[in-house]
Chain A
Amino acid sequence: MSNNKLKINDISKDTDMLASVPNEDLMPLPWDTEEKQWEPLPDDLKERNVCILDDVNILPIPMPKTKEEEEELVKKFISGMEKCFSRTDNWTFLSMLETTMDNCAKCNTCSDSCHLFEASGSNEMYRPTYRTEIFRRLYKKYVKKEILSGLRNGDVDLNWRTIARLGELSYRCNVCRRCAQTCPIGADNALVAREIRKIFSQEMGITVPELHENGSMLQLEFGSSTKMTKEVVRDNVDFIDEDFSEELGVEFKTPWDVEGADILLIHNAGEVMAWPDNVAAFSLIFEKAGLSWTMSSELAAYDSINYGVFYDDVQFARTAILHEQAAQKLGVKKIVLGECGHAHKALTVIADRVLPPGLQTPRESCFPILRDIVKSGVLNLDPSRNDFPVTLHDPCNVTRLMGIIKPQREIMAEICPQFREMVPNGPHNYCCGGGSGYAIMHRNNIPEWRNKITGRKKISQILNAFSDCRGPEQKKYVCAPCSNCKGQIRDMIERYDLLEKENMTYAGIVELIVNAMPDVEPDTIIKWEEGY
């Protein structure tokens, strides 16, 4: 199936698999590496879920067993599509979706900007316009009901395979919106992927378990997708305080539920579980900087994640409201978001026109405040303690989607003498490959797909940033100030043995700040040998 050139109508064909990306098609990496072949998806999975797109299964669409079930799948999708173009059901994104549907010139200017398209050797399935064009043809014919639509706009056969493949295909995009950035007209093909996911979730009740059942639903039930209750999270953070105070040689204590504090800090709770050093570093920096701040043990207020951003407007709104309610209850002056890209975008920007008056405590990124702390000199930072090559990954949600570019770099300039940029960077960065929450998915060939396709451009960029110091002799640090991005970069470092071969580690920005604090024990916050 090398160099396959899919046609639009192939989406509806009665074949076992629409596409596959063979290893020989993959974009070369800047070092010799052997890629594994795709493992065949298990038969029981294929009996249970529709697995007819490629070698991966992300969205568990139940395999229809009867003609009626096949028809039901189509009917429900079209019903959802109609709601997607309704002023009342989809006020959130209607303007963006309609304009993308109606004004795209199909010039494919966006194609080469997509890291999946490039990494896959220009596989047609990954072209940003492929799924959009299928969706558009269905929209024009079945929702807008344009006269002679098939003739005018091109036709696509509508059957259950079309719908099932389109649903799965909506999860072959990181929604990094790099394609939208290059569109001469302003059309947004990444948004279309998200809107298809929304139809599956909000109308058909078909969701990705890591995002929904084990994601936003757990957050609404327990307060965190990690299932940590408020008692557990407080215990864990207390333990982090004690453990790191001892290890770093500097005492600090994370404050909880302080009414009237200036700042409510919300971490991605994944940090508490997987990267406690990040939580400890924030607490230490904020305490030493003398900030008035607190964390909250209210429902969802100790976990900034908002997976609704990736697939569901209602779940998004529910979570954003819980975050704001916690801030209101404590009477803080502002919410500051820790190192989590999608949480930044969700609560600071998207929620801005969802939250009603009375629930509008201002929100801001952690990076400007960290920049001000670093530049103020209050921490007496010693940059020589960070005298090793450091590169910075720009989380899409923070940079391309929020324009927070310079604060991170000003921090780097103060404390990392061997800082070097990836190319391109800032608002033109490439996604880590974990965007849309893929970094937390570990089933059905998803990890292999993340390494081979979605993360390929990023790992290539990382290695190129260190081209002057390759090899295990020189330790290297990838600063990835976002929980999801860290997960993806962790997995790629492991997959390609980069700890061993390149002495490469990764963590956030606060770890570098703490590492530069003179009274902190050296090599305690950054764990070079252990990896993470």
Chain B
Amino acid sequence: MSSLTYLVAYAAIIVFVLAVLSRIVHYIKNPIHVRWELYPVAHEEGERANYGGSYLEDVDWWDKPRKSSKFNELKVMIPEILFLLAVWEHKRPLWYVTYPFHLGLYLIVAFIGLIGISAISQLTGIMAGTPLMSAIHALTNLVGPAGLILTVAGAAGLLFKRITDPDLANYASFEHYFNLLLFIGTGGIGIITWLFVDNNFDMARAFVVSFIGFKFTAMESTLFLIQVLLVVLTIAYIPLTHMSHFFMKYFLYHDIRWGDEPNIDTPKTDEQIGVVLNYPVTWAAPHIAGTGKTWAEVATHNPAAAAAEGKE
């Protein structure tokens, strides 16, 4: 059974990576889209970022050097990622449950990272037995349980909201309930495992060592084995659902909401425009007059003038 669990774990990680890559590649391979930015655009420089201004506030803006500020961007991004500020600002009652849930997930990611560092140290002997590794162990023992408890509490709160708040219930589907129950179940088993089987996460560390080293070492506890299965299946499942927003948000913000790059002497953009204008059009409404034509042909066709000529 342990060997099978390892195989499932490898498969799950592969599914996760492929699913994430597939979504990203799909997005990146989409054709150029029109500009559709929304202000405030975080990377605007200086005070403009604060009041929501843009480079379009300048006369002859195309002749001015365009300045953008990574610092201003981070000033918006980091608090949004760490504290879910948009929900805090616009839907406070939901924040009280969704924030613990997301914070719990962040902590679990941190926990996995810390376990990974310990495992690598154990495998390679680097920093083994040093005070730093002791600190990492102590931190792991703090972050892991905190992450599990917050995730389960947050997911339970979200489930309660989804069921009892008619505004949310009307829009909830089976998948919402399933997802939340999955997190509650996985996190719950995690808490039980931590409490009764793996207080110091030694099993977790041993599993990761074995996993990295392809050793397929047998797992002593059935409960721990179930936990591993649930965790890796959840990891594989996340990018297959709307929870893909955890990485797609990057594109939604940077490429769309803040995508204000103008086409001024930009050969690459001109080339992309050339590509899309040669796409075929199959829209069927009569005024499109698109049959067998490209976007360039359709966009330069004047149906009103053609109709007027027909009348004459």
In the complex, the answer to whether A372 meets B256 with C-beta atoms within 8 Å is: no
**Bound: A183/B86 CA distance, A:** 7
Complex: chain A residue closest to B247, CB-CB: A103
In the complex, the answer to whether B56 meets A353 with C-beta atoms within 8 Å is: no
In the complex, the answer to whether B287 meets A205 with C-beta atoms within 8 Å is: yes
Inter-chain contacts of A360 with B (CB < 8 A):
263
B166 to chain A, nearest CB (A): 6
Can you spell out 24 A-B residue pairs with CB atoms less than 8 angstroms apart? A6-B170, A87-B30, A88-B31, A89-B282, A93-B36, A96-B36, A98-B30, A107-B87, A107-B94, A182-B89, A201-B285, A203-B284, A220-B305, A221-B305, A221-B307, A315-B287, A352-B35, A353-B32, A356-B274, A356-B277, A356-B296, A368-B59, A405-B51, A426-B52
Is the C-beta of A402 less than 8 angstroms from some C-beta in chain B? yes
Say which one of B68-76, B171-179, B200-208, B210-218 lies at the interface with A.
B171-179
Is the C-beta of A133 less than 8 angstroms from some C-beta in chain B? yes
In the complex, the answer to whether B252 meets A103 with C-beta atoms within 8 Å is: yes
Contact (A350, B52) CB under 8 Å given A220-B302, A321-B300: no
Complex: chain B residue closest to A219, CB-CB: B304
3 A-B pairs closest in CB distance: A403-B54, A186-B252, A427-B52
The one of B37, B256, B302 that contacts A99, using a Cβ cutoff of 8 Å: B256
**Bound: A170/B251 CA distance, A:** 26
A288 to chain B, nearest CB (A): 17
Is the C-beta of A124 less than 8 angstroms from some C-beta in chain B? yes
Could you mark each residue 115-146 of chain B with 1 if its beta carbon is under 8 Å from any beta carbon of chain A, else 0?
00000000000000000000000000000000
In the complex, the answer to whether B174 meets A151 with C-beta atoms within 8 Å is: yes
Is the C-beta of A470 less than 8 angstroms from some C-beta in chain B? no
Contact (A349, B35) CB under 8 Å given A217-B304, A317-B299, A364-B59: yes
Complex: chain B residue closest to A177, CB-CB: B38
**Bound: A427/B53 CA distance, A:** 8
Is the C-beta of A527 less than 8 angstroms from some C-beta in chain B? no
Complex: chain B residue closest to A408, CB-CB: B57
A191 to chain B, nearest CB (A): 7
Measured CB to CB, the residues of B under 8 A from A are: 23, 27, 30-41, 44, 48, 51-62, 80, 84, 86-87, 89-91, 94, 98, 166-168, 170-176, 242-245, 248-249, 251-253, 255-257, 260, 262-264, 269-270, 272-274, 276-277, 279-288, 290, 295-296, 298-305, 307-308
Complex: chain B residue closest to A111, CB-CB: B167
Is the C-beta of A239 less than 8 angstroms from some C-beta in chain B? no
In the complex, the answer to whether B252 meets A99 with C-beta atoms within 8 Å is: yes
Inter-chain contacts of A113 with B (CB < 8 A):
90
In the complex, the answer to whether B35 meets A350 with C-beta atoms within 8 Å is: yes
Contact (A181, B38) CB under 8 Å given A79-B284, A109-B91, A362-B62: yes
Complex: chain A residue closest to B84, CB-CB: A184
Considering only CB atoms and an 8 Å cut-off, how many residues of chain A contact the other chain? Answer: 97
Is the C-beta of A204 less than 8 angstroms from some C-beta in chain B? yes
Inter-chain contacts of B274 with A (CB < 8 A):
356-357
Is the C-beta of A108 less than 8 angstroms from some C-beta in chain B? yes
Inter-chain contacts of B260 with A (CB < 8 A):
403
Q: Is the interface of A mostly helix, strand, loop or mixed?
A: helix
Inter-chain contacts of A321 with B (CB < 8 A):
299-300
In the complex, the answer to whether B273 meets A99 with C-beta atoms within 8 Å is: no
Is the C-beta of A102 less than 8 angstroms from some C-beta in chain B? yes
Is the C-beta of A145 less than 8 angstroms from some C-beta in chain B? no
In the complex, the answer to whether B256 meets A399 with C-beta atoms within 8 Å is: no
B132 to chain A, nearest CB (A): 36
In the complex, the answer to whether A217 meets B287 with C-beta atoms within 8 Å is: yes
In the complex, the answer to whether B245 meets A103 with C-beta atoms within 8 Å is: yes
Inter-chain contacts of A180 with B (CB < 8 A):
38, 257
Could you mark each residue 7-46 of chain A with 1 if its beta carbon is under 8 Å from any beta carbon of chain B, else 0?
1100000000000000000000000000000000000000
In the complex, the answer to whether B253 meets A353 with C-beta atoms within 8 Å is: no
In the complex, the answer to whether A5 meets B33 with C-beta atoms within 8 Å is: no
In the complex, the answer to whether B298 meets A92 with C-beta atoms within 8 Å is: no
**Bound: A355/B295 CA distance, A:** 11
Inter-chain contacts of A407 with B (CB < 8 A):
57
**Bound: A185/B250 CA distance, A:** 9
Contact (A95, B245) CB under 8 Å given A7-B170, A321-B300: no
Inter-chain contacts of A108 with B (CB < 8 A):
91, 167-168, 171
In the complex, the answer to whether A349 meets B37 with C-beta atoms within 8 Å is: yes
